[in-house]
Structure 1
Amino acid sequence: MKRILVTGATGKQGSAVVYELLKNNFEVFALTRNPRSSKADNLKKAGAILVEGDLEDTEGLSDLFKKVDGLYLVLPPVWVSSKETDEKEAEIGIRTIKLAEKQGIKFVLYSSVLGSDKQDLFRPKFKFTIEKYLLESTLQGAVIRPASFMENLLLPSFGLGEGKFINPLPEETAISWIATNDIGTFARIIFQHDKEFNGKTVDLGGKLFTPKQVLKLLEKKLNQPIDFVQVPLEALYQQSETFAKLVEMIGNEGYDPIDYEFIATWMPKLTGFEEWLDEIGIKKIKELRSMDN
């Protein structure tokens, strides 16, 4: 398991996987729609083999799939989800797995999302559809379900660049968070131990925080107050019914408990929220604010 293709290679998660694999002597093919971007150039400088391509043109990737042992499959994020975008994602994911099966890829690691199985009740064709297809196929493979990315706090939708914390989640519901670098590390561990992980689904996340706890941590680290803006559920329904139903699910049921003991047997230390803020987050938030001013 030495030659790995990483899709979405210039994204937060994909690039974390690429860099981690390169550091551990894997040969990495980085799939990107724009190999001339600065992010793609950084991957190339680190030693990745850039491949221009798009999972929507699966057949165009046939020769590439023949060259690799493993596939890290992460699909492009959709910020305003709908029944149509869910179905399209499921279709692309399954088509990609079929090609991996046809071209003899030895192991596929699919990155899904925490709680994908619970979302299946109101998203009948989505990430859980892809998970089931992979694990029921003839391929060797595994699924990881990352929790909310700490890096998502840097997106404009959270408003930190403007001194706000815009929160769409239930105010008192604690959820798990993960740094994307930790996803990269865990993915590398899985590729190094593919036999032990074959057929497994791993929920991957760290300590639970409520939105108000995240706010307090941000205020402490920035040493200033931040406006807490709670987005009403009605407003979420106007933007995206599927996302609103996800928020309702989190409020009513929460996520299933993460098996921290299992994670710790393979990766003893995940990045803590405070540690991430100290090393990466606060600097990036200040950069956002300087850009807005």
Structure 2
Amino acid sequence: MNKSVAVVGATGLQGTAVTRHLLGDGWRVRALTRDPDGAKAQDLRRAGAEPVRADMEDVASLVAAAEGVWGLFSVQPTVGSPGTAPDFTSADEVRWGRNVADAAQAAGIGHLVFTSVAAAGRHLTEPLPANLISKWHIEQHIAGLGLPATILRPVSFMENFTGGYALQNGSLVSGLAPDTVQQLMAVDDVGVITAKVFSEPFDWIGRTADLAADALTPVQVAAAIGAALGISLPYSQIQGLSGDFAYAMRWLDEYGYRADIQATRRIHPTAMTFTTWLERTGAAQIAAFLAG
């Protein structure tokens, strides 16, 4: 097997984690990015990856960047998630995901791994937020092309609690009810699992797996962060939300991801709990944000 993988979105949270774990497992990695000369891309170069220019709006650039590699990792921004451009839409997300899949087919990729989101596809039996349906449309395009693919569906990321998206005015904030149990996954563990999937293609091609490692209410999350940092961190539910974001919060309150945590642990037995994630990296990231 040609032990090389092209990583789309390599300078983002998921792409960086995937790149790091692939390199650690001895893979050659092409780090696809719109800015191969940028600071994050150069950090990946120093780690051993090869930054290559590619834009998810430009299929030709994706094909050129993926030529000659065996595997390809695909991830797109999600509307409303931390760091996503304000004018980014679900239509943009779907188009970018389809472009990457089309490029994978054109380049003759041997194994495509796409990170979607848990619960994608359940809109066939229950109402879903738009950001979950968009991922499902990308999944359907991959299936329609007949690509040798694996779909990973993580739940909400623990890293969402490390910045202004969740930490405001001395409180942890979100649109969730205080007693809603939210399933969580560390981005680093998505990188671990993705590297494992690429290393076991015969076990993984054709499979879809939800990924979740812990489940806590917002009040419990706030208490865990407060304990880790030695501070008081109350939880405050945002009121007056509207549109898609308000519906996404109501969906989490009423339905939720419902991923099988034990199934994730069978794939990756040491996947981090929220407390473990705080001990290893999360508390330091949150402290740095609060100090800034």
Q: Same fold (TM over 0.5)?
A: yes
Q: Partner of 1:266 in structure 2?
A: 267
Q: Distance in 2 between matches of 1:84 and 1:227?
A: 31
Counterpart mapping for 1:1-293 below 5 A? 1=1, 2-79=3-80, 85-118=89-122, 121-122=127-128, 123=130, 126-159=134-167, 162-232=169-239, 234-235=240-241, 237=242, 241-258=243-260, 260=262, 262-291=263-292
Q: 2:67 aligns to what SS in structure 1?
A: helix
Letter in 1 for 2:147: L
Question: Which runs of no fewer than 5 residues in structure 1 stay unpaired?
Answer: none
DSSP-derived class of the 2:270 partner: coil
AA at the equivalent of 2:118: L
Compute the displacement of 1:86 (Å): 0.9
After TM superposition, give the deviation of residue 84 of structure 1 in Å: 7.6
1:125 deviates by 5.6
Classify 1:4/1:220 alpha carbon distance in 2 versus 1 (closer, same or farther; 3 Å): same
Q: Which runs of 4+ in 1 moved over 6 A?
A: 80-84
Where structure 2 has 5 or more consecutive residues not aligned to the other structure, the ranges are: none
What is the alpha-carbon distance in structure 1 between the residues aligned to residue 136 and residue 209 of structure 2?
A: 13
Tell me how large the CA RMSD over aligned residues is: 2.1
Give the TM-score taking structure 2 as reference length: 0.90
Contact 1:21 1:28 in 2 (8 A): yes
Structure 2 Cα separation of the partners of residues 62 and 108 of structure 1: 13
Contact 1:83 1:242 in 2 (8 A): no
Alpha-carbon distance in 2 for matches of 1:45, 1:84: 31
Alpha-carbon offset, residue 259 of structure 1: 5.1
Q: Percent identity?
A: 29
**How many pairs align?**
284
Question: How far apart, in 2, do the equivalents of 1:248 and 1:36 lie?
Answer: 42
Change in 2 beyond 3 A, CA 1:145/1:83: farther
